[in-house]
Amino acid sequence: MSIDTDSLVTFLIAWGIPAFMIVQTYLKMDTDDRNSAKKDFKSPYFIFTIGSLVIGYFFASLGNLLLLTIINLLGISLMIIGGFTITVDRWKRNKMKSILTPLLIAVAIFFLI
Of 88, 59, 89, nearest to 76 (Cα)?
Answer: 59
- Average pLDDT of the residues of the chain: 89
pLDDT of residue 95: 81
Which residues are within 8 A (CB) of 49 and not within 5 positions of it... i.e. 6 or more apart?
Answer: 82, 85, 86, 89
Query: 88: part of which helix (H) or strand (E)?
Result: helix 69-93
Q: What is the pLDDT of residues 31-79, one digit of tens each?
A: 999 999 999 999 999 999 999 999 999 999 999 898 889 999 999 999 9
pLDDT of residue 1: 63
Q: Is the pLDDT score of 17 beyond 90?
A: yes
| Pairwise CA distance, residues 67 & 11, whole Å | 13
More confident residue, 101 or 42: 42
- Look at residue 62 and give its three-state secondary structure: helix
* pLDDT bucket at 96, cuts 50 / 70 / 90: confident
Max Cα-Cα span within the chain: 46
Q: Tell me the mean pLDDT in the region 20-28.
A: 95
